[in-house]
Amino acid sequence: MEKEGQELNETILKMQGITKFIFDSEGIALKNTNVKILENINFDLRRGEVHVLVGENGAGKSTLMKILGGIIPPDEGEIIIDGAPAVFKSAKESKAAGIGFIHQELNLCQNIDIAHNMFLGNEIVKNGVLNMKEMYKRSRELLMSVGFDVNPKTIVRNLSTAQQQLIEIAKAISCNSSIFIMDEPTASLSQNEINILFKLIKEMKSKGISIIYISHRFEELLQIGDRITVLRDGKNSGNMNVSEFNYDELVNMMVGRTLGKMHVCTHVPQETEILRVENLKISKRTLPLSITVKKGEIVGLGGLVGSGRTELAQSIYGARQFPSGDIFYMGSKIRKPSPRSSVQKGIAYLSEDRKLDGLVMEMDICKNVTLTYLDRFFKKKIIFKSRETGIAQKQIDDLHIMCRSMYQLVNTLSGGNQQKVVLAKWISEMPVLLILDEPTRGIDINAKAEIYRLMDKLASQGVAILMISSEMPELIGMSDRIYVMCAGSISDEINKSEGFTQERILQGTLK
Amino acid sequence: MKRSGLKVLALVTVMMLLSVVSFGCTSNTAATTAAATTKSTAGGGKTIAFSLKTITNDDFQKAIADSIQSAVEASGNTFELVTAGDQTNVANQVKQLEDLIAKKVDAIILSPMDANAVIPVLKKAKEAKIPVILVDQTIEAGNEDLYVTYIGTDNFNAGKEAGTKVAEWLSNAGNVMIVRGANGSSAGDQRVDGFKAGIEGTGIKIIGEQAGDWKNDKAMQVTENMLQSNSDVQAIFTASEVMVDGILQALAGAGKTDVKIMAVDGSKKAVDLIEAGDLTGTMAQFPQIMGKTAVDTILGVLDGSIDASKVDKYIDSGTSAYSKDNLADAKKTAF
Amino acid sequence: MEFIIKKKSILLVGIAAIALLIAGSFIPYFYSANNLLNIIRQSSVVAICAVGVTMVIIVLGIDLSVGGIISFSAMVCGTLMKSGTNIFICILAGAAVGLAFGLFNGVMVAKLGVPPFITTLVVGQVAAGLALVLSNGGSIGGFPESYVFLGNGSFLGMPVSNYIMFVFVALGSLFMAKTKMGNRIYALGGNEMVVKQEGINTKKIKIIVYGISGLCAACGGILLSAQLDTVHPIQGEPYLLDTNAACVIGGVSLMGGEGKIYLAFVGAMVIGLVRNALNMLGMHPFYQNVIIGAIIIIVVAVSVWNKNKNIKESKTF
Amino acid sequence: MSVSTKTINRTSSVNQFFRRFVKNNGAIVIFVIIFGFALLFVKNFASAQNMLIIIKQSAVPVIACIGMTMVLMTGGIDLSFGYNIGFTSIVAGLLIKTMGAPVWLGILAALTAGAAIGLGNGILVDKVNVPAFITTLGTGYIVLGAAQIVSKGNTINKLPKNFLAVGQTPVGVFNTTILIAIAVAVIFYIILQRSTYGRALSAFGYNKRASFVSGVATSKIHISVYVISGFMAAMTGILLTIRVNCAQPDLGGGDYTFQIITAAIIGGASLFGGKGTIVGSVFGVLIIKVIENCINLAGVQYFLFQAVLGIVILFAIVFESIKNKKL
Q: What is the pLDDT of residue C280?
A: 75
Q: What is the pLDDT of residue A122?
A: 81
Judged by average pLDDT, the poorest of A251-260, B42-51, B316-325 is A251-260
Residue C33 inside a domain? The answer is: no
Residue C54 inside a domain? The answer is: yes
Q: Name the neighbours of B, counting chains with at least 3 Cβ pairs within 8 A.
A: C, D
- CATH architecture of the domain B41-153+287-318 equals 3-Layer(aba) Sandwich (3.40)
Q: Percent of chain A, pLDDT > 70? A: 90
Contact C254 D133 (CB under 8 A): yes
Cβ of B222 under 8 Å from any chain D Cβ?
A: yes
Give span(s): CATH 3.40.50.2300, chain B: 41-153+287-318, 155-284
Contact A374 D210 (CB under 8 A): no
Give the gap in angstroms from C-alpha A343 to the nearest C-alpha of chain D: 6
Q: Which DSSP helix (H) or strand (E) runs through D138?
A: helix D132-151
Give the gap in angstroms from C-alpha D313 to the nearest C-alpha of chain C: 7
Q: Percent of chain A, pLDDT > 90? A: 18
Which SS3 state, helix, strand or coil, does residue A357 take? helix
Distance CA B175, CA B165 (A): 14
Q: Considering its fold, how many domains does chain C have in total?
A: 1
Contacts of D110 (CB under 8 A, 6+ apart): D88, D89, D91, D92, D95, D234, D237, D238
Q: Would the pLDDT of A13 be above 50?
A: yes
Average pLDDT, chain D: 88
State mean pLDDT over B200-216: 88
Q: Count other C-beta atoms under 10 Å from residue B203's C-beta.
A: 12
pLDDT digits over A158-209, tens only?
A: 887 778 888 888 888 877 788 889 887 776 666 677 788 888 888 888 888 8
The Cα-based distances of C145 to A332, B120, B123, C141, C229 in angstroms read 84, 11, 13, 12, 9
Give the gap in angstroms from C-alpha C226 to the nearest C-alpha of chain D: 24
Q: Would the pLDDT of A449 be above 70?
A: yes
Give the best residue of B25, B81, B100 to mutate against chain C (max C CB count within 10 A).
Answer: B25
Which SS3 state, helix, strand or coil, does residue B38 take? coil
The residue in chain A having the minimum alpha-carbon distance to the alpha carbon of residue C310 is A158
Give the best residue of C222, C284, C289, C311 to mutate against chain B (max B CB count within 10 A).
Answer: C284
Superfamily the domain B155-284 falls into:
Response regulator (3.40.50.2300)
State mean pLDDT over C77-101: 93
Is the model more confident about A354 or about D84?
D84
Q: Would the pLDDT of C299 be above 80?
A: no
Is the model more confident about C72 or about B320?
C72
Show residues of chain B in contact with C151, CB under 8 Å.
Answer: 120
Residue C195 inside a domain? The answer is: yes
State mean pLDDT over C86-98: 94
Q: What is the pLDDT of residue B56?
A: 67
Q: What is the pLDDT of residue C20?
A: 63
Judged by average pLDDT, the poorest of A104-118, B124-138, C271-285, D54-68 is C271-285
In this structure, are residues C102 and C89 in contact, taking their beta carbons and an 8 Å threshold?
A: no
Q: What is the pLDDT of residue A347?
A: 93
Domains of chain A: 104-175 (no CATH), 264-346+431-510 (3.40.50.300), 360-429 (no CATH)
Q: Name the neighbours of A, counting chains with at least 3 Cβ pairs within 8 A.
A: C, D
Contacts of B213 (CB under 8 A, 6+ apart): B87, B181, B182, B183, B219
Q: Which of B189, B218, B87 is CA-nearest to residue C136? A: B189
Average pLDDT, chain B: 80
Domain D47-326: CATH class, spelled out = mainly alpha
Cβ of A286 under 8 Å from any chain D Cβ?
A: no
Q: Would the pLDDT of D311 be above 70?
A: yes
Q: Which of D255, D316, D267 is CA-nearest to residue C68? A: D255
Show residues of chain D in contact with B10, CB under 8 Å.
Answer: 123-124, 127-128
For C126, the closest of D145, D311, D320 (CB atoms) is: D311
Q: Count other C-beta atoms under 10 Å from residue C306's C-beta.
A: 16
For A356, the closest of D195, D199, D209 (CB atoms) is: D209
Where are the strands (E) in chain D, listed by range? 156-157, 170-171, 174-175, 246-247
Judged by average pLDDT, the poorest of B87-101, B196-210, C52-66, D277-291 is B87-101
State mean pLDDT over D206-212: 91
Q: Would the pLDDT of A418 be above 50?
A: yes
Is the model more confident about C22 or about C274?
C274
For D274, the closest of A340, A351, A362 (CB atoms) is: A362
* Neighbour-count burial for B139-165, b at 16+ CB within 10 Å, e otherwise: bbeebeebbbbbbbbbbbbbbbbbbbb
pLDDT digits over A63-81, tens only?
A: 888 888 888 888 888 888 8
Cβ of C6 under 8 Å from any chain A Cβ?
A: no
Contact A116 C183 (CB under 8 A): yes
Q: What is the pLDDT of residue B261?
A: 93
Q: What is the pLDDT of residue A89?
A: 81
What torsion do the CA atoms of D304, D310, D313, D315 make, to the nearest 10 degrees? -90
What residue type is A220 in one-letter code? E
Q: Compute the residue count for chain A.
A: 511
Cβ of B81 under 8 Å from any chain D Cβ?
A: no
Show residues of chain B in contact with C286, CB under 8 Å.
Answer: 32
Q: Percent of chain B, pLDDT > 70? A: 85
Q: Count other C-beta atoms under 10 Å from residue B177's C-beta.
A: 24
Contacts of C15 (CB under 8 A, 6+ apart): C270, C295, C299
Domain that holds residue C131: 44-260
State mean pLDDT over A339-361: 89
Judged by average pLDDT, the poorest of A361-370, B178-187, C50-59, D178-187 is B178-187
State mean pLDDT over B292-306: 87
Contact A339 D214 (CB under 8 A): yes
Residue C286 inside a domain? The answer is: no
Average pLDDT, chain C: 84
| β pairing state of A210-214 and A179-183 | parallel
In this structure, are residues B282 and B266 in contact, taking their beta carbons and an 8 Å threshold?
A: yes
Alpha helices in chain C (DSSP H): 2-26, 33-58, 66-82, 87-110, 116-135, 145-152, 160-178, 180-190, 192-197, 202-228, 239-249, 261-280, 285-314
Q: What is the pLDDT of residue A58?
A: 63
* Alpha carbon distance, N-terminus to C-terminus of chain C: 19
For C293, the closest of D140, D311, D325 (CB atoms) is: D140
Cβ of D184 under 8 Å from any chain B Cβ?
A: no
Q: Would the pLDDT of A260 be above 70?
A: no
Q: What is the pLDDT of residue D306?
A: 84
Q: Would the pLDDT of A27 be above 60?
A: no
Residue C153 inside a domain? The answer is: yes
Quickly state the pLDDT bin for A483 (edges 50, 70, 90).
Answer: very high
Distance CA D245, CA A418 (A): 57
Quickly state the pLDDT bin for A463 (edges 50, 70, 90).
Answer: very high
Contact B117 C139 (CB under 8 A): yes
Quickly state the pLDDT bin for C219 (edges 50, 70, 90).
Answer: very high
Quickly state the pLDDT bin for B234 (edges 50, 70, 90).
Answer: very high
Q: What is the pLDDT of residue C228?
A: 86
Residue A349 main-chain phi, psi, to 5 deg:
-130, 110
Is the model more confident about A218 or about D300?
D300
State mean pLDDT over B38-49: 60
Binding-face residues of C in 193-212 toward D, CB within 8 A = none
Show residues of chain C in contact with A119, CB under 8 Å.
Answer: 183
Distance CA C123, CA D274 (A): 25
Distance CA B81, CA C279 (A): 10
State mean pLDDT over C178-187: 91
For A374, the closest of D199, D212, D274 (CB atoms) is: D199
Quote the radius of gyration of chain C (alpha carbons, Å). Answer: 20
Q: Compute the residue count for chain D.
A: 327
pLDDT digits over B53-108, tens only?
A: 876 667 788 888 888 988 888 888 888 888 876 666 778 888 888 888 888 889 99
Q: Would the pLDDT of A2 be above 50?
A: no
Q: Which DSSP helix (H) or strand (E) runs through A300?
A: strand A298-303
Show residues of chain A in contact with C317, CB under 8 Å.
Answer: 282-283, 285-286, 308, 311, 488
